[in-house]
Amino acid sequence: METGESLVRVDLAAESVTYEPVPESWRNDFVGGKGLGARYLYEELEPGADPLGDENVLLFLTGPLTGFLPGEQRYVVVTKSPLTGAFLDSYAGGEMAGRLAGSLGDNVGVLVSGRAERPVRLEVADGEVSIEPAEDWWGLDARETAERADEAAVACIGPAGEQGVSYATIASGGGDHHAGRGGAGAVMGAKRLKALVAHDDPPTLDDDLRKLHRRYEVAFADDDTGRWQAASETLETIDFANEVGVLPTRGWQEGQFDGAEGIGIEAVRDAAHDRERADDPVPGGFQVESEDGESVPRGSTPISLGAGLGIDDFDAVATLGSVCDRLALDVISGGNAVAWAIRASETGLIDRELEFGDEDGARELIEEIARRSSPLGDALADGVDAAAAEFGGDDLIPSVKGMALPAYDPRGASAMALAYATSDRGACHRRARPVEVEALGGTDWSTVDRVDAVIAEQDRRAVLWSLIADDFFGEALSRTLGADWLAAIGRDYDPEELRRVGERVWTLIRLFNCREGFSREDDTLPERLTEPLEGGPNDGAAIDAAGFEETLERYYERRGWDDGVPTGRTLERLGLEEL
């Protein structure tokens, strides 16, 4: 039942579509998804390639288990980020992932290069891809674009991607799901590619896979993570972060929000009128009605657009989230951009009246950012670091490698400081999330404990995202790392081999980023985080610069990296010596 032996190569400039086999050694060493995308990106790009130039490539990939695993199916977009200039992998769920896998047939994905002369879309069906005109789709938002595709599934850009906003997303499900952080939508817009449309049903399960699916589905439903997800999805994240004092509030000035109750999980439950896939033991989210239409808010919505902006009304937060979804704009980076502007207004760096708690002002600025329709919106469209370079205020919103920090304030959980600093795509709380253990387990972690926890999570997630497994259901694969599932489709690995795959993928991406000019100086945290938090259980907590450097050095030692660069011995051990 093994599938996925070829890659579809689309050259938009030449208007050509070709099919080529994936090298067998790449499939064995990198499995699929994130890993295979990293190998292709390393091979395809010359160092220093412009992320928005014709030379950048954009990969839409499924994993060998897409369409088979319980939980929300996922696909991945891999490219060079216009926000950070580093490697970028962004994931989206919903209907699109399974239908893309079914439509691709024996192909693992689509590699897009070049730039079309006019807006186009890619149609995928029966294992084939065609380039179709899309001038009449250009200018539509994510919802309007999805409606144009009738019964097919769509991954598309909105106004933010068309305008080259450096944190534009690729939206599916009409904006309910996003390949979010890092700006893959801007790359898509630069190529004048409006949408990828998948027509076929998801792949079917044979008897062996069906039995495996049912066994894991039942086990996950009874697992702590499964029960937590079924009850609250990611939306309880804000309650957790607020309780332990790591909730970024009012532009990262405080660790707790006095209005958290009004935008937390109970407020969502009160507002939700339906559960997406309500009969599925592994549910997909809450649907709520907002002023801007229906939306499916995730945990990042009330964190970045609620607490981060000092807004304590859930209806207002849901509306802001819906606006971002429709425009296909990342809610985390968008929320941080607005927070930066509010703080810049307060300190007199910009001549505009903005304040925390003003949802109307936030909505207006989000629209300006997505459409680059004002000087301030245009500056913020390139990220908070770019705005600070123009106006000043580089100490207002913390970022790593040009990406603003997301959900958890590392001053209240120091292992997260290491996770953010060493993340392969900039400040990301999904590469490793030790905060949940550290914050609840006390403060007696040693440096070795923190380093080991971060490395283990980074490697584990790297291989699970190569499969591609949903983040939450992936917890059920922690013991085998999916070896039993891979065996069911004719690919034999043991868990230790898969753990090495995760380390190999992580190291390859480090090589890519080093080649792009990233170094130890980029694996750091902004000075802003050495200032103490105000209020809550972590009142007065701050990052100790010397302690952080000691932890980073230990991380490099454990990784086998010399001052941040993988050594020849490490590359040889992982089978990467040819690179």
Mean pLDDT calculated for residue range 369-385: 97
Instruction: Encode pLDDT of 18-27 as tens digits.
Output: 999 999 999 9
Residue 233, pLDDT > 70, answer no
Residue 292, pLDDT > 80, answer no
Question: pTM, whole model, 2 decimals?
Answer: 0.94
Residue 303, pLDDT > 80, answer yes
Q: What CATH number should be reported for the domain whose range is 6-198?
A: 3.60.9.10
How many other CB atoms sit within 10 Å of the CB of residue 44?
Answer: 16
Mean pLDDT calculated for residue range 410-437: 88
Classify strands 120-125 and 193-198 as parallel, antiparallel or unpaired.
Answer: parallel
Residue 473 banded pLDDT, cuts 50, 70, 90: confident
Residue 410, pLDDT > 80, answer yes
**How many percent of the chain have pLDDT more than 90?**
74
Q: Which of 183-197, 274-288, 366-380 has the lowest mean pLDDT?
A: 274-288
Mean pLDDT calculated for residue range 315-333: 95
Residue 230 banded pLDDT, cuts 50, 70, 90: low
Instruction: Encode pLDDT of 91-102 as tens digits.
Output: 998 899 999 999
Supply the pLDDT for residue 275.
Answer: 46
Name the burial class of residue 484, with classes exposed (0-12), middle (13-18) and buried (19+) by CB atoms within 10 angstroms of its CB: middle
Supply the pLDDT for residue 333.
Answer: 97
Residue 474, pLDDT > 50, answer yes
**What letters, b where the CB count within 10 A reaches 16 and e where it falls short, cover 116-151?**
beebbbbbbbeeebebeebeebbebbbbebbebbee
Residue 1 banded pLDDT, cuts 50, 70, 90: very low
| Cα 108 from chain centre | 20
Best CA proximity match to 394, nearest among 344, 342, 331: 344
Q: Which CATH number fits domain 410-573: 1.10.599.10, 3.40.50.10790, 3.40.50.970, 3.40.50.300?
A: 1.10.599.10
Instruction: Encode pLDDT of 183-207 as tens digits.
Output: 999 999 999 999 999 999 999 999 9
Q: Which of 111-120, 123-132, 286-295, 467-476 has the lowest mean pLDDT?
A: 286-295
Supply the pLDDT for residue 558.
Answer: 97
Supply the pLDDT for residue 20.
Answer: 97
**Residue that the structure tokens 């944190």 belong to:** 167
Mean pLDDT calculated for residue range 450-477: 91
Instruction: Encode pLDDT of 527-543 as tens digits.
Output: 889 988 888 888 898 99
Domain map (residue ranges) of the chain: 6-198, 234-397, 410-573
In DSSP terms, 179 is beta-bridged to 170
Mean pLDDT calculated for residue range 28-37: 97
Supply the pLDDT for residue 317.
Answer: 93
What is the token pair recorded at 278? 């309500």
Instruction: Encode pLDDT of 105-130 as tens digits.
Output: 999 999 999 999 999 999 999 999 99
Name the burial class of residue 279, with classes exposed (0-12), middle (13-18) and buried (19+) by CB atoms within 10 angstroms of its CB: exposed
Mean pLDDT calculated for residue range 429-445: 74
Instruction: Encode pLDDT of 127-160 as tens digits.
Output: 999 999 999 999 999 999 999 988 899 999 999 9
Residue 281, pLDDT > 60, answer no
What mean pLDDT is reported for the chain? 91
Supply the pLDDT for residue 293.
Answer: 66
Supply the pLDDT for residue 282.
Answer: 37
| Cα 241 from chain centre | 19
The CATH class that applies to domain 234-397 reads mainly alpha
Residue 443 banded pLDDT, cuts 50, 70, 90: low
